[in-house]
Amino acid sequence: MTNDTLTPSPSVKMYATRDTLWRYFVMATLSLKTITEKMELTSLTPEVDISGIKIHQPDVNRIALQMAGYFEHFEATRLQIIGYVEYTYMESLDKKTQKEIFEKLLSYPIPCIVFCRDLKPNKLFTETAIKNNVPLFVTPKATSAFTAEIIRWMNVKLAPCISVHGVLVDVYGEGVLITGESGIGKSEAALELIKRGHRLVTDDVVEIRKVSDASLVGTAPDITKHFIELRGIGIIDVKALFGASCVRETQNIDLVIRLEDWDKDKEYDRLGLDEEYTEFLGIRVVCHNIPIRPGRNLAIICESAAVNHRQKKMGYNAAQELYKRVQENLTKKRDDEEED
């Protein structure tokens, strides 16, 4: 098993030299301040300090059963949402019941509560929230729309993340992750792809996030975004040199191309009937091992691999088509021999 088939656990950090693929598992968190700015939430409790509040999971909870007094299995650490149904129910309760429910609800370690549809809590709810340091916010968005938007955004931001050594390029809409030993030509291949009209996502360090059970998204660290390192020249700014159309912020990872020095004693796949895979965060990605020799045009090879992968996803496999033709030809010859 090679290094790049290992999936680190959340508590494990894995390092290697720059000459090999390396990884670093990151447990992401989101500050409440970032969420309020992104979702354009208005604070109803400016007295409550939110600077130290962090969100650790992308799930949310609508406070429904809790308003009825049922607190078993209550996920208090999630972002809490109150919609029109919950709001009208809490307003229908008598003052004594409201006081009991509000005191119990807001005694939990709730990171924040968001009221949708510009609904405002009553004075008792607000005072109890301030007393327990639970921040309240309001948004004009409909409950379903707000819930879907914030879950989608937090799923990306809080997704499990690893960093790998490589280059990620958008080639004909396919996210191609180019890996290999340091100095083998990854950055040069990426630069040639950019010149041919494709787009750079990141060079040298690729942050990979598992945004769903079937999707990996690659991004660049802020510090190296849009930069490429070329030995003998130094650092170049792709966006400044070639324009904004030559870069993009994120890209799904659809294909891995592993560059390696040519080994005359090694057998390389020449048909492609059987796919090889590598694994990131438990998700398998198609992987091609490309041997490097002088005179090979890596950019054209990467383009061809991306287009071929796209064709396979659309249902056409050139290797299987060749195999089918060979089998049909052999069958035809055998039938002709039997007739003679």
Could you report the per-residue pLDDT of 73-82, keeping only the tens digit for each? 999 999 999 9
29 vs 222: CA distance, rounded Å = 17
Least confident of 66-70, 184-188, 332-336: 332-336
Tokens 């690659």 appear where?
218
Q: Which of 104, 131, 156 is the last residue of a domain?
A: 156
Last residue of a domain, one of 104, 133, 156: 156
Structure tokens at 314: 């659309």
Same domain, yes or no: 282 and 135 = no
Same domain, 130 and 210: no
pLDDT digits (tens, 9 = 90+) for 265-312: 787 777 777 888 999 999 999 999 988 887 788 899 999 999 999 999
Does some domain include residue 87? yes
Residue 337 lies in a domain: no
The CA distances from residue 317 to 70, 175, 322, 324, in Å, are 56, 19, 9, 11
Residue 255 located in a structural domain: yes
**By percentage, how much of the chain surpasses pLDDT 90?**
65
pLDDT of residue 172: 94
Q: What is this structure's pTM?
A: 0.72
For residue 2, give the amino acid letter. T
User: Are 20 and 129 contained in the same domain?
Assistant: no
Q: Is residue 275 a part of any domain in this protein?
A: yes
Confidence at residue 26, expressed as pLDDT on a 0 to 100 scale: 53
Based on the fold, state whether residues 87 and 112 are members of the same structural domain: yes
Is residue 3's pLDDT more than 80? no
* Residue 69 domain-assigned (yes or no): yes
Based on the fold, state whether residues 212 and 128 are members of the same structural domain. no
Could you identify the residue written with the tokens 């370690």? Answer: 109
User: Are 151 and 164 found together in one domain?
Assistant: no
Please answer whether residues 250 and 218 qualify as being in contact, where contact means their C-beta atoms are separated by less than 8 angstroms: yes
Q: What is the pLDDT of residues 209-253, one digit of tens each?
A: 998 888 999 999 989 999 999 888 999 999 999 999 999 999 999
* Whether 7 and 39 share a structural domain: no
Q: Greater confidence, 175 or 11?
A: 175
Task: Print the domain residue range for 257.
Answer: 3-24+160-318
Same domain? 168 vs 136: no
Identify which of 154, 153, 178, 182 has the alpha carbon closest to the alpha carbon of residue 168.
Answer: 178
Domain at 313, CATH number:
3.40.50.300
**Residues carrying an active site annotation:** 165, 186, 204, 270
Question: Does 136 share its domain with 34?
Answer: yes
Tell me: do 78 and 99 sit in the same domain: yes
Question: What is the C-alpha separation between 49 and 144, in angstroms, rounded?
Answer: 28
SS3 61: strand
The first and second tokens of residue 189, run together, are 């291949």
CATH code, 91: 3.40.1390.20
Statement to judge: residues 147 and 287 lie in one domain? no
143 within domain boundaries: yes
Whether 21 has a pLDDT exceeding 90, the answer reads no
- pLDDT attached to residue 157: 86
Q: Taking 90 as the threshold, does the pLDDT of residue 13 lie above it?
A: no
Q: Domain tally for the chain? A: 2
What is the mean pLDDT of the segment spanning 13-33? 57
Token readout for 104 is 């119990």
For residues 17 and 38, state if they share a domain: no
**Residue 332 within a domain:** no
Please state, in angstroms and rounded to a whole number, the distance separating the CA atoms of residues 89 and 93.
Answer: 7
Single out the residue in 129, 156, 183 at which a domain terminates.
156
Give residue 5's pLDDT. 39
